[in-house]
Amino acid sequence: MQTIGLVGGMSWESSAAYYELLNRGVEARMGGLHSARSVMASVEFAQVTALQEAEDWDGVAQILADAARSVERAGAEFLMLCTTTFHRVAEQVEAAIDIPVLHLADVVAEAAKAQGVEVIALIGTRFAMSRTFFTERIARHGLEVVVPGVEHHDEINRIIYEELVHGKVVDDSRKYVVDLIDELWDNGAGGVILGCSELELLVKQADSNLPVFPCTTLHVGAALDRALA
């Protein structure tokens, strides 16, 4: 089993989900008392969020690269960034280390293609929906990527940062996101990416008739495939 490296803390709720899913996944695949070999460095969410809001991406990259180097020194054989938004600096982080980064956008794109999806919608933080760093990486795989209208961005961002990162799951917020998924379906999307780990706390496949691609679950599955190959 390879040792999986994780840079987390964006948010800690997301990182906890990664850790749990990795260990449950190893247990399910190997049985007995098996668990995942992993090393995590957890950054301070308020600090990196403040740098993000100030558009200080070099500062964000420095913090995440330092964390990645510490994970590599601890024995990790490949790296996962436990976040969607901060994949904005994934290439800078990868350049700072000698182990590969398992890029979330690549994992999600391959999962969508495997289900025959050609047009996929992304729901995530306001930053992830309004910038192209993630959607363009997915589009390199031959997919068309759409995002909700800008009129939805503030509300989705509020649900993520004021509720989900604190572990609060609100029924009205679930209805809002599910209704938005239906709207995206009507507009031609063949699937929807839950492009923020915390959204998986809110929406499940059972809530939608449209294929749902949960980033964290897919990322963990790909990591397990790699670690246990």
pLDDT at 167: 85
Q: How far apart are CA 41 and CA 222, in angstroms?
A: 20
Q: Which of 49, 82, 85, 196 is catalytic?
A: 196
Q: How many CB atoms lie within 10 A of CB 132?
A: 11
Residue among 83, 84, 85, 135 flagged as catalytic: 83
List the chain pLDDT tens, one digit each, 229 residues: 999 999 999 988 889 989 999 999 999 999 999 999 999 999 999 999 999 999 999 999 999 999 999 999 999 999 999 998 899 999 999 999 999 999 999 999 999 999 999 999 999 999 889 999 999 999 999 999 999 999 999 999 999 989 998 889 999 999 999 999 999 999 999 999 998 888 988 999 999 999 999 999 999 999 999 999 9
What is the pTM (predicted TM-score) of this model?
A: 0.89
Phi and psi based region of residue 213 (left: phi greater than 0; alpha: psi -120 to 50; beta: remaining): beta
Catalytic-residue membership of 83: yes
Distances (CA, A) of 53 to 5, 44, 215: 27, 15, 23
Calpha distance 113→96 (Å, rounded): 30
196 belongs to the catalytic site: yes
Looking at residue 102, what is its pLDDT?
97
Task: Give the DSSP letter string of 125-175.
Answer: -HHHHHSSHHHHHHHTTT-EEE---GGGHHHHHHIIIIIGGGT---HHHHH
Q: Return the pLDDT at 13.
A: 85
The answer to whether 92 and 65 are in contact (CB under 8 A) is yes
Residue 213 forms beta bridges with which residues?
193
Residue type, 72: E
CB-CB contact of 70 with 41 (8 Å): yes
Number of Cβ atoms within 10 Å of the Cβ of 173:
21
